[in-house]
């Protein structure tokens, strides 16, 4: 199963959660074999644990086998610092238990990789997390006897993008992994989602690594256990949406809205109502693309949003990775 | 006629060109009394001169009386530096003749005002132009005898936005105008357009000043001849679009596309086909707004686009304002 | 007494404290008539209150009549966030009582002016404070009934420098003052000091306004009560030193060091020992200037230092200006 | 021979040229065995070729065996764009012949390494060059048949500093070299010099690689042919000086100045005149260090200087590395 199949669907979401929703809609709402998911809510934060258990589930939603954890916080764009701290704390707790679940121990040495282009604001999430995260590996290398208990060796790099370095980011990371021998890679990347609502309000954690074609930057090579020889945990936040996806989702929302109002959607939407997701998206793209309408877009306030969410992830990682960093006050350890 | 009326239409474009298109569509394509416009094309650059001649025209398109000049360059987002230089040269020539037409002479002292928020990339156009434009007023003040011929006195300020300064930008500019006595203000502002296609590809010049509610930053007070006592030329570039507008325009484009393919749009689009622009937009907004979908959005590559277009405008202004700066090589005078 | 006289001395410090030290040294250590000063120390922070009481004192130290308060924190460059918070709290308390002493009341409306050039790191202090300070004037203007008690109307602008705007910063501020009618201006500026030791470790508060030639940017016009019609409180931090001053001070320090070691300085330093401050500085400048050695220099780590100290001042101002902001936790209100 | 010996001398310059000058002064001006150098001047640009031929020369000046080429351009800080273009062209020509001389062929694949910390302006030279240089390796990898003649494969990385990544930059580079197999590394680094005059006016090229302790960032591991297995060309620009070095050099300059004026320096400077360089520097450091005066300092205008010189080097590299880039118009190929 690969991203190619997903691209056939033309749905263009990097979130497993959305891919499952789409598959369920197409299937009339019935559960998808091979996909197990569980959702719980905590004071404005919705957490979903989703497992792609077998090849059938993978085919159905176009995502590789593995564990996906999603935090959805619709209010996260409101610049509420109290909420941000709470999300960082939640992130830390869930990330910590996610690490345990997928077998990454308390002392495993971590390399944090910030993927993306620091010159393109919606793609700068990874590099921004790297700038803000606490690195400790140098102390373990230079004076191992003097490191206080409760810390582990953490290093962090932002490998840049092909157009700036001339080198695939996966090659750079692979070289660094071979030299520095971490036990696990945590890769942060900006994603595309299907829905504007989820942009900068959702964080996905997955144990599947980074696959070619995912994220904003159209990678040609991945960062996976197969390639690097060590587990790769991926953290992603959708920061962009295709204009065509916005249109398509909106038509869907309008159909739902009218149906809820007892309208006859065949009457209201005509044949549009009978097209399936793919056909309609195909039509939208045919119309938008040739005249430059089908751009990847991002909210106007992206500068602030991306900084806020990078701080949340950096704070959360600090607390999750070091027992000595208190999950109750994670923000104090970042810039 | 005020922006309030425009907001009733809910069409949310700051471009006179688009407002006229919308009014024409609603009116079945017949010409609008009180609006005179002329379009010509030059090697990939479309120039439209539009005049709102009377109150009737103003009411019809929701724009104040005055002269509007628009440069449309669909290929401008392709980072083609040769094209950028050509657009700067065109801008300079048209801006120069525009100044003459509206009565601003060769030696009129100019204050360039860069409106907008430098911390919000799609709103940073004005401040970026101010950073890149050539200022000369200090030489006229400090050593008037030594200024080479072919220059005029130009000053430039970026007054910031209400949320950062606590002061309306129009008050700041008014104070500076009273102290420094320029003959004309040129105000640069980022705009909202109706169409993604025009974002970062279109430049509007108008002799109407800046009106409350226009631009990205939701001004409460304007910059007009009535307020400042001197003419105000506005230069605007659309850098954002409402998600709802994208959806609405896309449905329109789809109807055009199907009609061109001889489809029966009543059959394809049902009742949607019979809604007018306003009704349909109202429906789209009802659906998108409550769940956070109706954001102002901007292309992913906004950082690069905004820098390119700010350089074009700064280069063009340098050439248009100073005879000593050659319109054939405008780019050399900016950073 | 003007800055011109100070420039005759060629001592080039913007700190009253240093000017007094120099005058005392020249005078053999005896107290200077017309200068009253008081110093106290609090856990690593030295506070000096200095008053220039009359023309004689003013002539002697080359500073205008008025009150000067200086906070010296030698350890401030060590990036110790706990110390930074403590300095912000001290700054807030002393600034508050300074305001009272010079007659600025609890509800006086404040305009904060960040002088300097945001493109030149050691000159960017003022603009950085403006970016980080809390502005509230807009709430008093737009919804005066709804402002919570404990706040006053504060606005903030960074007027830029002559080379970027073509307008003296004092003219811009004057225009804004006339339009917005604040009761007092607080102007923040980066200064030159005589000693590297004080760079980025010292904050001076003075009720004398900003005078031509002071600060890094070589202003030609001042910001004073005479010009603006309202009191002007100046906050300054030395961020640069002349290379020649470093050399001259070092020779002085060496003489002190040798004398403390019972050396015969006439023997060690020859005629150099008998030159007075001005003669020796003249010699140093003659030697350094022609070959480009006499630059204004700043510590390598200036980016971090300037950000830290701008945060301290912004936090301190928030606490000093608004009773509702707690002086015990000032940092929480800045970015 | 290592940098440790140089540090014994406490002279702290990364320029071979200065190290030779110091050694010559100590030796009374006689030539140093094992050091061959040749200087020529071209319209404001002084070029020095210096070779450390054997161990004796290396010991004498504290620099490793190899070839050093230095461009000195005293006027380079004057923001004269015509001069900057000329320096870029000179740099390109000399760099190209330097490559040939040390055996790097026309088609050798190049990895450009920008050392230093992008958050510390005077240390950001390397990362800035990397941002501005043309990378082409991706075209050779992805579509080798379509690359136009006159180009070679160039990649570029800025590995960051230990405090940000937790990894020695040399380890990161080593990993990337092993994965991407370039034929030569070109490493750009900001240096410390002995003289303010040379800061941001001098460019050193050397075939010796990067050695521990050199540059601003106090590396613990080097980038050399021994470590990486391929030749390493180092490009360095002094951007900082120790305050103590400024003082010491100034005293030296004063002695020269007085001697030129027929003064008896024993009388003027006393015992100071008889101290040798090291003793006097030791005294200066004893005096300055304890009170925080002995900082590394940089000119106030460092932001502009570093940008200018990074552009010169990036332009020069583009022209030197690709025959298709014209050395007569090197600036057009950088941002």
pLDDT at B279: 77
- Taking the C-alpha atoms of residue C270 and residue C256, their distance in angstroms, rounded to an integer, is 15
Tell me if D248 is assigned to some domain: no
Contacts of D156 in chain A (CB under 8 A): 164-166
Whether A175 and D171 lie within 8 Å, measured CB to CB: no
Give the nearest chain C residue to D300 (CA atoms).
C297
Contacts of B120 in chain A (CB under 8 A): 300-301, 303-304
Domains of chain D: total: 1
Please list, in sequence order, all residues whose beta carbon lies within 8 angstroms of the beta carbon of residue C247, skipping any fewer than 6 positions away. Answer: C284, C288, D246, D247, D250, D251
Please tell me which of the candidates A250, A271, A301 has its beta carbon nearest to residue B247: A250
pLDDT at B78: 87
Contacts of A136 in chain D (CB under 8 A): 166
C60 phi and psi angles, rounded to 5 deg: -65, -40
Whether C176 and B180 lie within 8 Å, measured CB to CB: no
The pairing of beta strand D110-114 with beta strand D154-157: parallel
Tell me if A254 is assigned to some domain: no
- Taking the C-alpha atoms of residue B12 and residue A326, their distance in angstroms, rounded to an integer, is 48
Q: Report which listed range, A120-129, A275-284, D101-110, is most confident.
A: A120-129
pLDDT in tens, B301-310: 999 999 999 9
Provide block-wise average pLDDT over 10 residues at a time, chain C (335 residues).
37 87 82 94 94 95 95 92 93 94 92 96 97 96 91 97 96 97 97 91 96 79 94 96 86 78 76 75 76 83 96 96 78 53
Contacts of D295 in chain C (CB under 8 A): 196, 199, 299-300
Minimal CA–CA distance to B119: which of B164, B186, B165, B168? B164
Tell me if A269 is assigned to some domain: no
- Complete DSSP assignment for A73-101: -GGGGG--HHHHHHHHHHHHHHHHHHHHH
The stretch D274-299 carries a mean pLDDT of: 78
Give the nearest chain D residue to C254 (CA atoms).
D287
The pairing of beta strand A35-42 with beta strand B202-206: unpaired
The pairing of beta strand D45-52 with beta strand D35-42: antiparallel
Task: List alpha helices for chain B, DSSP H.
Answer: 3-9, 16-26, 55-61, 81-101, 125-132, 137-142, 162-165, 169-180, 225-228, 243-260, 265-269, 277-288, 302-321
Tell me if D227 is assigned to some domain: yes
- Complete DSSP assignment for A17-34: HHHHHHHHHHTTTPPPTT
pLDDT in tens, A53-111: 999 999 999 999 999 999 999 999 888 999 999 999 999 999 999 999 889 999 999 99
pLDDT at A123: 96
**Other CB atoms closer than 10 Å to residue A135's CB: what's the count?**
21
Q: What is the ipTM of this complex?
A: 0.90
pLDDT in tens, A186-245: 999 999 998 888 999 999 999 999 998 788 776 778 999 999 999 999 999 999 998 888
φ/ψ bin of D262: left (φ > 0), alpha (ψ from -120 to 50), beta (otherwise):
left
- Angle, to 10 degrees, between the axis of helix B243-260 and the axis of helix A277-288? 90
pLDDT at A13: 87
Q: Which domain holds residue C229?
A: 15-241+309-333
The pairing of beta strand C184-192 with beta strand D184-192: unpaired
pLDDT at B333: 54
- Taking the C-alpha atoms of residue A139 and residue C313, their distance in angstroms, rounded to an integer, is 33
pLDDT in tens, D66-87: 999 999 999 998 889 999 999 9
Chain C neighbours among D 4-23 (CB < 8 Å)? Answer: none
Categorize the per-residue pLDDT at B1 as very low, low, confident or very high, splitting at 50, 70 and 90: very low
pLDDT in tens, A118-159: 999 999 999 999 999 999 999 999 999 999 999 999 999 999
Above 70 in pLDDT, residue B9?
no
**Other CB atoms closer than 10 Å to residue B49's CB: what's the count?**
17
Percent of chain B having pLDDT more than 70?
93
pLDDT in tens, D164-177: 999 999 999 999 99
Average pLDDT, whole number, for chain A?
A: 88
Question: In this complex, is the C-beta atom of D273 within 8 Å of any C-beta atom belonging to chain C?
Answer: yes
pLDDT at B314: 97
- Complete DSSP assignment for D265-330: HHHHHGGGGTS-HHHHHHHHHHHHGGGT---EEEETTHHHHHHHHHHHHHHHHHHHH-TTS-GGGG
**C-alpha radius of gyration, chain A, whole number:** 20
Give the nearest chain A residue to D157 (CA atoms).
A165
The Cα-based distances of C332 to C186, C315, C319, D230 in angstroms read: 22, 8, 10, 52
Structure-token match 């060309």, residue found = D233
Above 70 in pLDDT, residue B228?
yes
- Taking the C-alpha atoms of residue C334 and residue C314, their distance in angstroms, rounded to an integer, is 7
Above 60 in pLDDT, residue D5?
no
Above 70 in pLDDT, residue D1?
no
Please list, in sequence order, all residues whose beta carbon lies within 8 angstroms of the beta carbon of residue C306, skipping any fewer than 6 positions away. Answer: C121, C122, C124, C125, C128, C190, C200, C239
Give the nearest chain D residue to A162 (CA atoms).
D138
Contacts of B179 in chain C (CB under 8 A): 167, 171-172, 174-175, 178
Categorize the per-residue pLDDT at A6 as very low, low, confident or very high, splitting at 50, 70 and 90: very low
pLDDT at A317: 97
- Complete DSSP assignment for B32-57: PTTEEEEEEEETTEEEEEEEE-SHHH
Average pLDDT, whole number, for chain B?
A: 88
The stretch B164-189 carries a mean pLDDT of: 97
Tell me if B302 is assigned to some domain: no
Chain B neighbours among A 176-215 (CB < 8 Å)? Answer: 195-197, 199, 201
φ/ψ bin of A10: left (φ > 0), alpha (ψ from -120 to 50), beta (otherwise):
left
Above 90 in pLDDT, residue D27?
no
Percent of chain A having pLDDT more than 70?
93
Whether A131 and D164 lie within 8 Å, measured CB to CB: yes
Above 80 in pLDDT, residue B238?
yes
CATH of the domain at D221: 3.40.50.1450
Whether A162 and D136 lie within 8 Å, measured CB to CB: no
The larger pLDDT score, comparing residue B294 to residue D242, is at D242
Asked whether the CA dihedral B211, B217, B220, B224 is positive or negative, the reply is: negative
Inter-chain Cβ pairs, chain A and chain D, closer than 8 A: 93
Which secondary structure element, helix H or strand E, spans residue A286, and what is its range? Answer: helix A277-288
Tell me if C153 is assigned to some domain: yes
- Taking the C-alpha atoms of residue D113 and residue D227, their distance in angstroms, rounded to an integer, is 15
Whether B120 and A257 lie within 8 Å, measured CB to CB: no
Categorize the per-residue pLDDT at D332 as very low, low, confident or very high, splitting at 50, 70 and 90: low
Q: Supply D252's token pair.
A: 């030296």
The three-point CA angle C156-B132-B328 to 5° equals: 155
The Cα-based distances of C17 to A325, B282, C14, C247, D44 in angstroms read: 43, 67, 9, 20, 44
Whether B250 and A287 lie within 8 Å, measured CB to CB: yes
Please tell me which of the candidates B254, B265, B300 has its beta carbon nearest to residue A287: B254
Tell me if B234 is assigned to some domain: yes
pLDDT at B175: 97
Q: Report which listed range, A15-29, C234-248, C255-269, D261-275, is most confident.
A: C234-248
Question: In this complex, is the C-beta atom of D259 within 8 Å of any C-beta atom belonging to chain A?
Answer: no
CA dihedral B79, B84, B87, B93 (to 10 degrees): 160
- Taking the C-alpha atoms of residue A175 and residue A169, their distance in angstroms, rounded to an integer, is 10
Minimal CA–CA distance to D200: which of D120, D308, D112, D95? D308
Above 70 in pLDDT, residue D331?
no
Q: Supply A65's token pair.
A: 């086998």
Chains touching C (at least 3 CB pairs under 8 A) are B, D
Minimal CA–CA distance to B322: which of B76, B96, B132? B96
Question: In this complex, is the C-beta atom of C334 within 8 Å of any C-beta atom belonging to chain D?
Answer: no
Please tell me which of the candidates D153, D162, D176 has its beta carbon nearest to residue A172: D176
């Amino acid at each position: 199963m690969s991203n190619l199949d997903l691209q056939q669907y033309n749905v263009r979401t990097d979130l497993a959660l959305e891919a499952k929703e789409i598959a369920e809609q197409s299937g009339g709402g019935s559960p998808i074999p091979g996909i197990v998911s569980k959702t719980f809510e905590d004071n404005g934060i919705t957490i979903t644990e989703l497992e792609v258990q077998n090849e059938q589930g993978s085919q159905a939603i176009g995502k590789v086998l593995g564990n996906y954890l999603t935090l959805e916080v619709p209010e996260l764009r409101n610049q509420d610092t109290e909420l941000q701290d709470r999300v960082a704390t939640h992130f830390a707790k869930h990330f910590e238990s996610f690490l345990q679940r997928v077998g990454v121990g308390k002392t495993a040495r971590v390399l944090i990789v910030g993927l993306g282009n620091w010159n393109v604001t919606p793609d700068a999430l990874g590099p921004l997390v790297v700038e803000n995260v606490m690195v400790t590996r140098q102390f373990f290398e230079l004076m191992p006897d003097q490191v206080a208990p409760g810390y582990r060796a953490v290093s962090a790099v932002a490998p840049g993008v092909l157009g700036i370095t001339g080198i695939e980011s996966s090659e750079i990371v692979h070289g660094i992994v071979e030299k520095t021998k971490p036990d696990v890679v945590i890769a942060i990347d900006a994603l595309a989602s299907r829905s504007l609502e989820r942009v900068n309000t959702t964080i996905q954690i997955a144990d599947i690594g980074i696959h070619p074609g995912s994220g904003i930057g159209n990678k040609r090579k991945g960062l996976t256990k197969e390639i690097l020889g060590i587990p790769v945990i991926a953290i992603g936040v959708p920061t962009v949406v295709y204009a065509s996806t916005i249109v398509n989702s909106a038509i869907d929302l309008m159909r739902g809205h009218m149906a809820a109002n007892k309208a006859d959607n065949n009457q209201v939407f005509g044949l549009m109502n009978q097209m399936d997701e793919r056909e309609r998206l195909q039509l939208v793209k045919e119309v938008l693309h040739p005249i430059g309408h089908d751009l990847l877009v991002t909210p106007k306030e992206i500068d602030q949003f991306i900084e806020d969410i990078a701080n949340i992830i950096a704070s959360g990682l600090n607390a999750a990775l070091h027992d000595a960093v208190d999950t109750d006050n994670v923000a104090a350890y970042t810039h």
